[in-house]
Structure 1
Amino acid sequence: MNFLFIGLDGFNILSLSQKGYYQFYPLLIVIIPAMHLFFINIDKDSKRLNYNELVHFIFPVLLVVLNLTAKRFLIAVVPAFWIKLFFSILFEAYIIYYTTITYAFLKKKIWNREPDLINMKQNRILKHWSFFIFYLYSLIVFHLIVVISMNLKAAGNDNTELNNYKFFPALLLNIMYFKILFTPEILYGYNVMHDKIKQHNKSNFILTDLWILDASEEINNVQDRALGKKIAEYTSNYIHDIEKLVFKHEIFRNSNASINDIANKLKIPKSHLTFVFKYMSKVSFTEFKKIVRIHDALQLIEKDYLKSNSIESLANKVGFSSYSPFYTTFKEVTGISPQVFIQQRKKGK
C-alpha cells in the first residue's frame, strides 16, 4: 500500500510528498507497529480481532496530527531545521523502540521456544523464516534511519534524499510480502495442531512428522543393518499397523502398555519394532507413547469429554497413572498447560 500510494503520487493522482517535515514514507508509521503485531500473532490462536492491539496505532495517529499542526502553525515562528530535527529524532526513537521489543519477543517466544514434539517440522520452519523476515525488516529500519539522518543535511525542507532511496526498501518489502504470501507456515503460526488432527485421515500416516520414511542414515551395527535389509519392504506396513493399533484400538490407554504388547498384538518380532523406533522414528518409543496419549487427550477434549469429567479423569483415561505426569507430558508435547489449552479452545469458540 505504501509504494502503491507513492506510485499514484508520481502520476499526480495523489499529493502525498508535499514539502514539510513528514520525515518518513506514507503509511510507514503504520507498517512499524503492524510488523510487531504480525510477529506477536504468530504465537496466538485467535480468529477474532483483539481490540487491545489497536493501542499500538495511537502514537502513529498522534504523530500525523502533530506533524500537520507543526506545518500549519509553527513554520512561521520556529526554524525549519529544528522542526525537521524534532520529527526525525521522534520517529527514529519510535522505530527503534518497536524493533527492540519485537526482537525481545521473538528471542523469548519463537527462537528459544521449548521444542514441540508434535509439530517439530513446523517449529523449525517458523524459527528460520521468522528470523529471515525480521532480518529483512531490520535492514529496512537501518536503511530508514540512515536516510532520515542524511535528509537532515539536505538543503530546504523537501524529501529529496528520502525519495532517492525508495528502491531498496521497496525490493525488501516485496521479497518479504511474497514470502509471507506463499508460505502457509508463516501465515498460520504455531497453532496448526487442530487442523493437522482433522486432516490426519487424508494422509498415509497420522504422525507423519515423526517418521523417517526415507531414512538415509548409515547403520553402523552389522546386525541392525542386516535386519534393516530384511524388513525394508515391510517397514511402511509396520508403521501403518502401529498407528492403527495405538489410535484406533487405543492400546496406550492401558498405563502398562509396552513395546512387547504391540509386538504381540501385531504378531511380529519385537526386534522389528525396536528397529523401527531406533532408525525410522525421530522419537523414542517412550516419547512416542507420550505423544499418542496427548493426541488421544486432545481428541477427547474436542469431543467435549471435560463437560462431564475432570482433567484427572481425562489423564487416567488416556493412560497416565495420575494428573502430575499428564500435566508435565501435555506441556512438553503441546508447549502449553492443559488449562491454557482449554481456555484457548473456549475463546476460539
Structure 2
Amino acid sequence: MLDQLDSFLSLFVGFLGFLVVVFIITSYKWSAFFNLYLIIVFLVVSFRLVHIGLLGFYDLGSFNTYSFYMGPIILFAIPSVYLYFESLYSDRVHFNPKRTLHLIFPLSNLLLNSLQYNFSILNSCLIETIQIISIQVFIIGYCLASIYLSYNNLWAKRNDSSALSSVHEALMKKWAVFLLLVLVTLSIKLVYSIYTEMNENARIVGYKSSLVKSLLWFFVFVYILRSPELLYGYPKLKNRFQELEKKSQAVSPVWVDNIPEIKSAQDSKLNESIDTKIGSYLAEIERYINSNHPFRNSKYTIKDLSKDLNIPASHLSYVFKYHCEMSFVEFRNQNRIKDAVKYINTDFLENQTFDALADAVGFTSYNAFFVSFKKYTGLAPKDYIQSRDSHRFSEKGE
C-alpha cells in the first residue's frame, strides 16, 4: 500500500513539475535568463519523478534499461540550483557562455555511464569507485557553495542606498531559507542513495524514491505557484513590489483635461454651459467623497451624489462620461476599495470578517468585493494582508 502511495505521489508531483515549467516559460517576460536554470532543474526532477511513479504501476521494458544508464542526468540539476541562486541575486539578463563550464562534470558522467554500457573495461571497480566518490564530492561541494552564496547576498550583505524594500527582503530570505533546506535535505538523501547503490552494484545514480523526496518537491512547486514573484529575480522583484504597492493604495481615478470629440449635440450644448465649472465640480466630488464616504451605502447612486452636492445629475453624468477615465460605477467601486484598504490598515479584520468588511464599505456581497479588490489593487485581500504584515515584520526587525 505504501509503495503504491509512493508511486502515485511521484507521478502527481512529477506532472505538477511539468506544469510549473510551463508556468515559468509563460512568465519569461519578467524572468530573464535565470529561469533557464530552474527549467533545467524542474525538467530533470519531474522526468525522474514521473519515471519512478510509472515503475510502480507498469513494466517499462527497454525504457528501464535506457534510463538505467541515464541516471547521472540528475547531476545537471545540482549546478543549475547554484546558478539559479547566483542569477537570482544579480538578476542577470545576458547569457554568459562561461556558465556552461558548470555542466562539464554532469556531461562527462553521462558520457561515462553510456560508454560503460558498451565497454566492459570501463566497468572496473576502481573506475566506479572514483566515479561515485567524485559525484558525492560534487553534490556536497555545490550544496555548500549555494549556502555560502546565499549567506553573502542575504545575511552578510550590508544595507546601502540600493537596498531592496523590506517586503522584498523578507520574501527573498524566506524563500532562500526554504529552498536551501530542501537542497540540503535532498543532497544528503542523494549522497546516501548513491552510497547504497554502490554497495548493491546498481548503475543508476540516486534513483531510489521515497515519500519524503516527492513531498519536498511538491512543496517547492506549490511555493512557486503561490508566489510567482520569486521567478522575477532580485532587482526585478523590487520593481514589481513597487508597482503593487502603488496599486494597493487604490487612488482616485485620473481626471481627464483633454476630452475626446463630442459627437452628441446634447453633450456639445452642455459642454458650452458648464465648461468653466468642471474644475470646481471635480474638487467638490473629491472633497465630499473623502470627507463623507457616501459609497459605504450600498444603494448610493449618481442621483444621490447629485442631490448631496447640489449639482444637476446631467452635469455629473457628463463629468464621468468625458472627464473621468472610468464610469461612475467603477469610480464608486474603486473608492470603496480605497476605503477597505484604510479599514484593513487600521486592523479592522482583527475582530471582523471579510464579509463584514465588504458590507462596511458598501458591497452587497463578498464576491463583488473580492473581484473589485483584486482588480484595483492587483492582489487578493488575503495576499494584500500577507504583504502588509511581512512589511511590518521586517520593519520591526530593522
TM-score by length of 2: 0.45
Asked whether the 8 Å contact 2:90–2:233 carries over to 1, the reply is yes
Give the one of 95, 100, 103 matched to 2:147: 103
Task: Answer yes or no: is 1:18 the counterpart of 2:65.
Answer: yes
Relative distance call for 1:127 and 1:21 in structure 2 (3 A) is same
Task: Answer yes or no: is 1:54 the counterpart of 2:100.
Answer: yes
Give the one of 221, 224, 236 matched to 1:180: 224
Give the one of 121, 130, 140 matched to 1:86: 130
Please list, as runs of the form range in 1=range in 2, the aligned pairs for 1:186-201 lying within 5 A after superposition: 186-191=230-235, 192-199=237-244, 201=246
Relative distance call for 1:164 and 1:33 in structure 2 (3 A) is closer
Relative distance call for 1:201 and 1:139 in structure 2 (3 A) is closer
In structure 2, how many angstroms separate the alpha carbons of the residues matched to 1:62 and 1:25?
Answer: 13
Asked whether the 8 Å contact 1:8–1:14 carries over to 2, the reply is no
**Partner deviation per Cα, 1:48-104 (whole Å, 9 max, x = no partner):** 54443222222211211122223322x2x4664333322211211111121121111
In structure 2, how many angstroms separate the alpha carbons of the residues matched to 1:31 and 1:133?
Answer: 14
Root-mean-square deviation (Å): 3.8
Please list, as runs of the form range in 1=range in 2, the aligned pairs for 1:254-273 lying within 5 A after superposition: none
Aligned partner letter, 2:194: I
In structure 1, how many angstroms separate the alpha carbons of the residues matched to 2:92 and 2:54?
Answer: 35
- The count of aligned residue pairs is 211
Task: Answer yes or no: is 1:146 the counterpart of 2:157.
Answer: no
Shift of 1:8: 5.0
- Residue 65 of structure 2 aligns to a residue whose secondary structure is coil
Task: Answer yes or no: is 1:171 the counterpart of 2:218.
Answer: no
Give the one of 163, 171, 182 matched to 1:125: 171
Give the one of 235, 247, 272 matched to 1:202: 247
Asked whether the 8 Å contact 2:89–2:234 carries over to 1, the reply is yes
Asked whether the 8 Å contact 2:72–2:106 carries over to 1, the reply is no
Shift of 1:201: 4.2
In structure 1, what is the equivalent of residue 287 of structure 2? none
TM-score by length of 1: 0.51
Unaligned runs of 5+ in 1: 207-211, 217-278, 284-349
In structure 1, what is the equivalent of residue 73 of structure 2? 27
In structure 1, how many angstroms separate the alpha carbons of the residues matched to 2:123 and 2:247?
Answer: 68
The structure whose residues are more often helix, as a share, is 2
Aligned partner letter, 2:183: Y
In structure 1, how many angstroms separate the alpha carbons of the residues matched to 2:157 and 2:346?
Answer: 28
Shift of 1:164: 4.5
Identity %: 21
In structure 2, how many angstroms separate the alpha carbons of the residues matched to 1:180 and 1:20?
Answer: 28
In structure 2, what is the equivalent of residue 269 of structure 1? none
Larger radius of gyration between Structure 1 and Structure 2: 2
Unaligned runs of 5+ in 2: 1-45, 252-343, 349-391
Shift of 1:9: 5.8
